[in-house]
Amino acid sequence: MTTEIATNHLIAVYAAYGTASIALTCFLARTLFRNGAVFLEDVFADNPRMASSVNHLLVVGFYLLNLGYAMITLKAGGGVVTASDAIETLAGKLGALLLALGAVHMLNLYVFHRIRRRGQLRMAPPPVKPQMQHGAATAHA
């Protein structure tokens, strides 16, 4: 009887965790896709197809990393006998998933920042040659 109760609690934990994992990953991926497009359009102003392509590739990578991590961490390590065990297990799994989603999200933002910065440096005007030398200015004074 105890094994049957534990199995029922685990099924509920697995179902809730799977649903929450997919929903959180989809929400963040859509947010990254929509808002990341602005950065990439700025970087690839001369090639909008490239901006769209890079954005899609980054989002696909985001899905693969996060959903892969969610599936790897699906299995519950300890016994889940009571409802409170199930809630604690679910909270621990979702907490770990949220930390991983946050880390990958920050990494993705860093990638966007680096790509944008590189594009801005490429489009910047060349440095201006100094008009006078410091030593020459003091010699004439």
The rounded distance, in Å, linking the Cα atoms of 77 and 95 is 15
Domain ranges of the chain: 2-123
Strands (E), 2-141: none
pLDDT tens digits, one per residue of 58-107: 889 889 988 898 888 887 776 777 888 888 888 888 898 889 888 887 88
CA distance 66 to 83: 27
| Residues 96-122: tens digit of each pLDDT | 888 988 888 788 778 878 877 876 777
Rounded Cα gap, residues 32 and 91, in angstroms: 25
Return the higher-pLDDT residue of 129 and 36.
36
Q: Is pLDDT of 9 > 90?
A: no
Which residues does 74 contact at the CB level (< 8 Å), separation at least 6? Answer: 14, 17, 18, 93
Comparing 141 with 110, which gets the higher pLDDT?
A: 110
Q: Residues 119, 42: contact at Cβ < 8 Å? A: yes
Dump pLDDT digits (tens) for 24-59: 889 988 998 898 888 788 877 888 898 899 889 888
